Amino acid sequence: MAKAVWNGVVLAESDHCQVVEGNQYFPPDAINADYFQPSNTHTTCPWKGAASYYTLEVNGQVNKDAAWYYPDPKEAAQNIKGYIAFWKGVQVQT
């Protein structure tokens, strides 16, 4: 089971992650939404499409844009549509 942890809190946990480019992408229903705030940040991947971000807030600490997802990915990345990946100090354990 994959688990994403930051600031001592489990942000996401699932047996149904997708691995893309070495990143674990968690299904949308695997996250603890209490810690996620939508961000206005967007980036573009040539083959996955436009990514959107979440800022994490745990115990009063903020980790800006530490999670990302593809709400409407290109055809090659449809398997991660809506799935969430992490960086910026979030530890993903498998």
pLDDT tier, 53 (very low <50, low <70, confident <90, very high otherwise) = very high
Q: How confident is the model at residue 90 (pLDDT cuts 50, 70, 90)?
A: very high
List of domains in the chain: 2-93 (2.170.150.40)
Q: Does the predicted model carry a pTM greater than 0.85?
A: yes
- pLDDT tens-digit series, residues 1-49: 999 999 999 999 999 999 999 999 999 999 999 999 999 999 999 999 9
Q: What is the pLDDT of residue 63?
A: 98
- pLDDT grade for 55, boundaries at 50, 70 and 90: very high
Q: Exposed/middle/buried for 23, CB within 10 Å: 0-12, 13-18, 19+? A: middle
* Short-list 8, 16, 15, CA closest to 35: 8
Q: Which residues pair with 87 in a beta bridge?
A: none
The residues that bridge with 44 in the sheet, in sequence order, are 50
